[in-house]
Amino acid sequence: MRTGARLGVDVGRARIGVARCDPGGMIATPVETVARAADGDADVARILEIAREHEVIEIVVGNPLSLSGASTPSTDDAVAFAERLASTGIPVRLVDERLSTVSAQQALRATGKSARKQRPIVDQVAAVIILQHAIDAERDFQRPPGRTIEIPEGPSPL
């Protein structure tokens, strides 16, 4: 298991959930929900700021494939967002996140939170699920999960 904190990111159309894990890669915890920027890079800039604050070794972005494993418009959006993050020079991995939001909603419902009260935090809980799955998989299989986003070298856009 590699040593170092990581961020987990759940990319949504309106919001981005962010979670982090401890440097030992034992447990993921929620950090915040970042508003998706309609234009510009405010969302990427905020996530990079969080990454610097927590001195992470990489960012793990959930890859929302369909249940059959096929790409969807959400998949394309998450991959494009992961590429924007990776273009800044920080290592980014894409990991399968099928049903993470559904699992997060179920977990919050089990605590008695209504759908309206879930909205501000469901993205953070989904990010926790994505990151916890990734660090558990790395520990179990002794290799980093998912795939690395490779960006051609050149100047960073941010």
State how beta strands 15-21 and 6-11 pair. antiparallel
Residue 95, strand partner residues: 62
Q: What pLDDT does 152 receive?
A: 65
4 Ramachandran zone, left/alpha/beta (phi>0; psi -120 to 50) = left
Residue 99 DSSP label: T
Instruction: Give 31-53 pLDDT, tens digit per residue.
Output: 999 999 988 999 999 999 999 99
pLDDT at 113: 67
What is the residue extent of each domain of the chain? 6-148
User: What pTM did the predictor assign?
Assistant: 0.86
In 3D, which of 131, 106, 113, 133 has the Cα closest to residue 30?
Answer: 131
CATH value of 6-148 in 1.20.1740.10, 3.30.70.20, 3.20.20.150, 3.30.420.140: 3.30.420.140
| Encoded tokens for 73 | 């418009």
Determine the Cα–Cα distance for residues 151 and 10; give it in Å rounded to an integer: 20
Residue spans of the chain under pLDDT 50? none
The crossing angle, in degrees rounded to 10, of helices 42-53 and 73-86 is 60
